[in-house]
Amino acid sequence: MEENKTFTISVYSENNVGLLNRISGIFLKRHINILSLNVSESEIENVSRFIIVVSTSTKWVQNIVGQIEKQIEVIKAFYHLDEETIFLENAIFKIGSHLLFDERQIQNIIKESNSEIVTVSREFFVISKSGRRSEIEELYEKLKPFGIMQFARSGRISISKEKMEISTLLEELKS
């Protein structure tokens, strides 16, 4: 049996209500957990891009992409292994302000992790970090002993290393 791998699925679609529900249903039926999900505008006007991260076999990801492409609003879906993409996640951490001044180590953690302080108030300050999930988790573990008031992490955003022929495909559809 083939070992599971991490795949990033990119779905280009019209932005229609209910599509996300149908796409997530495709994963639900196959008992495949979505590890990360991000939906945003794409490089093409009036076209949305879903970025879905899953751990499964090549056979299953091919099957899933085929099912996703059967949705009327879907223009095209692609899948890539991690080494075929450039990807990041973003995270923000809310920490008590007194620590910024009382704990010298906090400033070192921020500097060493290539994070940045995005806001400071009397009660709290907010740190922003972009990077791989492992880098964000490492920062989380370093900040945890000091007390994290709030934490939020985005889903993966990614671009493929190789050219995806979505723009060419859309041009052909227009003609």
What would the pLDDT profile of 96-155 be if each residue is shown by its tens digit? 998 887 778 999 999 999 999 999 999 999 999 999 999 999 999 999 999 999 999 999
Distance separating alpha carbons of residues 4 and 58, to the nearest angstrom: 8
DSSP letter at 44 equals S
Averaged pLDDT, 3-19 = 90
Whole-prediction pTM? 0.84
Pairing of strands 5-13, 74-81: antiparallel
Residue-wise pLDDT for 45-97, tens only, equals: 888 999 999 999 999 999 999 999 999 899 999 999 999 999 999 999 999 99
Structure tokens at 115: 């994070």
- Taking Cα atoms as reference points, which of 130, 61, 52 lies closest to residue 85? 52
What's the confidence (pLDDT) of residue 174? 59
Averaged pLDDT, 18-44 = 91
CB-based burial label for 162 (10 Å; 0-12, 13-18, 19+): exposed
